[in-house]
Chain A
Amino acid sequence: MNIMVCLSQVPDTTTRIVFTADGKSLDKSGVQFIINPYDELALTKALELNEALGSGSVTVVHVGRADSESNLRKAMAIGADKAIRVDADATDSIQVARELKAVATKGNYDLILCGRESIDYNGGVVGGLLAELLGLPLINIMTSMSSNGKDAEVSFDVDGGRAFAQVSHPFVATCQKELTEPRIPNMRGIMMARTKPLEVVSAETDSGPTQVSRFDLPPAKSGCRFVDPADMDQLVTLLHEQSKVI
């Protein structure tokens, strides 16, 4: 199958989040960016599907600037055949979905895989928006998939349970944890990635319709205070006057 994998990069999970002085964006200095873990699953699943079919091609597509290219190279070391980078700052979900749509319509893909969400902004809507823009079915929060290239058997999470379905290609799916185990690039993959194509295309628009005015960090956790179980009055007073929750 000809598979497109939408890939974003996110701050490493151990990053200490600091914002710029104006509070409008993440201070990226010293921050290590990694492939969004759900997108890594999407990539691995794409490779597995094609390995099972015995042929196919996997293209990773990313909306972002040149600083993401090491992660695109990593995706190719893991096994993607090529990478496309749409040269724009990703500002919101609809902008990203529109740019991905532009790439998708040029590519004749049988399957488009995204992560279920990115672990930085946790929007979880790019896959859905993209399916809508392309007029394709969406399998959201997919937990398993097999395919003969024409039709696929899938399962996906629904509120409080799991659904099982058949769906014809092409379609869009967002990938959930259990789908597969991420792969680690091996030496052969890293060597082969050197010569795989990384295409940079210009963006349709400069930025999305949403502008962030400010980010706030959650209030720092205050220490835990113990109250004598016999002294209910003190507890009530504290909750009322100090924490102001009752």
Chain B
Amino acid sequence: MKTDRFQHPDHYLIDELLTEEHKLIRDSVREWVKRELSPIIEDYAQRAEFPRHILRGLGEIGAFGPSLPAEYGCGGLDQISYGLIMQELERCDSGIRSTASVQGSLVMFPIYAYGSEEQKRRFLPKLAGGELMGCFGLTEPDFGSNPGGMITNYRDRGNHYVLNGAKMWISNAPFADIAIVWAKNEEGRIHGLIVERGMEGFTTPETHNKWSLRASATGELVFDDVKVPKANLLPGVSGLKGPMSCLDSARYGIAWGAVGAAMDCYDSALNYARERIQFDKPIAAFQLTQKKLAEMVTEITKAQLMNWRLGVLKNEGRATTAQISMAKRNNVEIALRIAREARQIHGGMGITGEYPIMRHMMNLESVVTYEGTHDIHLLITGMDITGIAAFR
């Protein structure tokens, strides 16, 4: 692959809305990505393998739970910093960002928000450093958009719980050391359990033959009478709001990440259009190409502004589920459209691994589905503005 010379478009001088520290964080992650990830990502994606050797590096640059407090080995950074880190990772590959989202928002966040002090001290510092990896088990074979219907369950057996069921489509599952598993108790209430690799009856078969997120490992979680110590139950939450609050945090990161992927496609398309000569002119000179590029940069600019504003609201503790949902849906959708248009601009070259376009496009097909599908997010906005839930 060619040297990564990515530069982000900033049509509305949004950099001026960032602090010096935000820019230092973003630029450092970008530099790290260019040095450590860009040269290898295409190869790992082609081989459908997750580059495990980068986990410590990801921990060091702050990819894992950067906004959780420093006393647990995390960064104590604000939400805009977190967003920028996700943006830079997904600028390289949605699969790498997925690993970071899962670790930070879906594993560390619930332990921090709902875990006991002992659980926090035991797990958070190692998760922040990438020494320990986690995954998040909510989706089941028969319950995707409707997770409340889940059948995975646990029963109280005196000094421990016994867990049964199966989760599907779980990012990081094949190599995760721990899993945050959402399951129902005897009364049908959803609770979170920390299931550890090595517990008897717990297996994590890998999902093969994906055409999307190939550089991210996906698998199942299978629980066959797994004995889980009572100390591994997250004491601070019950009901669907537990997993849903985690999704708010992860979706916020996806809203930023998708813009990263969009900007990479745009940057590549812009450079290609300037250099590729057809009919004795750079293809950037043709009106139809300019239309595509102009629309791309406009959508990117709108999405950048949306992310920044959402970040400010999140810093103030005011971002609502509906606002986050709108940004996730919009930004992933524009990223997908931009990836498809960028692929057209690259002509035949666009389908090869010489350029990141096709990889981004295929990755985004997962991103538009996970963490709430595009349509489910439309229904969330619909419910928000009409007051009527149209899910069922």
Contact = CB atoms under 8 A, between A and B. Distances in A.
B311 interface: no
Interface string B52-96: 000000001110001000100001110000000000000000000
Interface in B1-59: 5, 7, 20-21, 23-25, 28, 31-32, 35
By size class, the interface of chain A is 10 to 19
Given A14-B7, A184-B31, A73 B20 contact: yes
Interface stretch (A106-114, A167-175, A187-195, A233-241): A187-195
Interface of A: 14, 69-70, 73-74, 77, 184-188, 190-191, 194
Given A14-B7, A70-B23, A186-B61, A191 B75 contact: yes
Contacts of B61: 184, 186-187
A188 B60 contact: yes
Contacts of A194: 21
A191 B20 CA distance: 13
Contact of B21 (A14, A184, A190): A190
Contacts of A14: 5, 7
B113 to A, nearest CB: 21
Contacts of A74: 24
Interface on chain B toward A: helix, strand, loop, or mixed SS?
helix
A41 to B, nearest CB: 15
A184 B35 contact: yes
Contacts of A70: 20, 23-24
Given A191-B70, A191-B76, A185 B20 contact: no
A185 B75 contact: no
A29 B35 CA distance: 28
A187 B75 contact: yes
A89 B144 CA distance: 62
18 contacts: A14-B5, A69-B20, A70-B20, A70-B23, A73-B24, A74-B24, A77-B24, A77-B28, A184-B28, A185-B24, A186-B28, A186-B62, A190-B21, A190-B24, A190-B28, A190-B62, A191-B70, A191-B75
A188 B28 CA distance: 12
A194 B24 CA distance: 12
Nearest to A188: B60
A7 to B, nearest CB: 15
Contacts of A186: 28, 60-62
Contacts of A191: 70, 75-77
Contacts of B7: 14
A228 to B, nearest CB: 22
Interface string B234-254: 000000000000000000000
